[in-house]
Homo-oligomer: A and B are copies of this chain.
Amino acid sequence: MSTILLLSCPDQHGLVASISNFVSDNNGNIISLNEHVDLDEKMFFIRIEWENNDLSISNNDIITRFKPLAEKFDAKWRIEFTEHKPKLAIFVSKYDHVLQEILWRSKLGEYNTQIACIISNHIELEILANSYNIPFYFFPITNDNKLHQEEAEIELLKKHEIDIIVLARYMQILSPEFVSQFPNIIINIHHSFLPAFMGGNPYKQAFVRGVKMIGATSHFVTNSLDEGPIIAQDIIRITHKDSVKDLVRKGRDLERLVLAKALHLHLEHRVLVHKGKTIVFE
């Protein structure tokens, strides 16, 4: 079990010293430290993970003790404890591949998470949810009921105390009201190397353009469609022999792996967001 601090603040003298002294003074042993200074923006970013040697210090104590330091630095920060398993909600429609991948990895123990529920606007994937004993909630969406259904979803997510929302090829655009409730915790997978081929049917767009590679991009959802901070991207090569159907088939592998990676990074608290971009401390 370890403790992770993620922090960003204006760069200033002695930041690493202050923070590492804090860890040391609280009897922690640093096992991982990543730091980034943006020299143009004069911003400082850090992820620091330590083991607690002194078990008499509670998690609440750590947070209370760190607060004055963070305020001094004028920092945005959060402290995470790996003993806490973040709660995950997965939104799906009809495609199963990304969901399969997350469920399978979770079962294998790759993810420090608890999959609290699966939410869908279609009924097809209920069987898969059941086979993993995960609650499945069916919220059919029409133009008329969309906002109403989203309100019900939000209530459900709050009830489950959800920490992370994954859109695993969820084929609905979430409303600004919904998105604004969950800043930087909704992770989407888009099936193109963004910013190429934003919007619908990216494989068809890629085919028509005649690109020689297709991609997938996992990003945090904001209210600018497909323009949220990018967490992970990857590509594979294609040729003139590939039809749109082939792109869909080949792209599935990318979508699964890229989202799986983004989720892994997020669950290990390795992703900071700053001005529409991510700092990923791999």
Chain A residues near B (Cβ < 8 Å): 11, 13-17, 20-21, 23-24, 29-37, 39-40, 53, 97, 100, 104, 108, 110, 131, 193-197, 209-213, 215, 229-235, 239-241, 243, 249, 253, 257, 276-280, 282
Number of copies: 4
Other-chain contact of A13, B29, B197, B210 (Cβ < 8 Å):
B29
Asked if A31 and B39 sit within 8 Å, CB to CB, the answer is: yes
Asked if B276 and A210 sit within 8 Å, CB to CB, the answer is: yes
Residues of chain B with a CB closer than 8 A to A24's CB: 13-14, 16-17
Residues of chain B with a CB closer than 8 A to A23's CB: 16-17
Q: Identify the closest chain B residue to A233 (Cβ).
A: B212
A11 to B210, CA, bound (A): 21
Asked if B213 and A233 sit within 8 Å, CB to CB, the answer is: yes
Residues of chain B with a CB closer than 8 A to A253's CB: 257
A40 to B197, CA, bound (A): 22
Q: Identify the closest chain B residue to A44 (Cβ).
A: B30
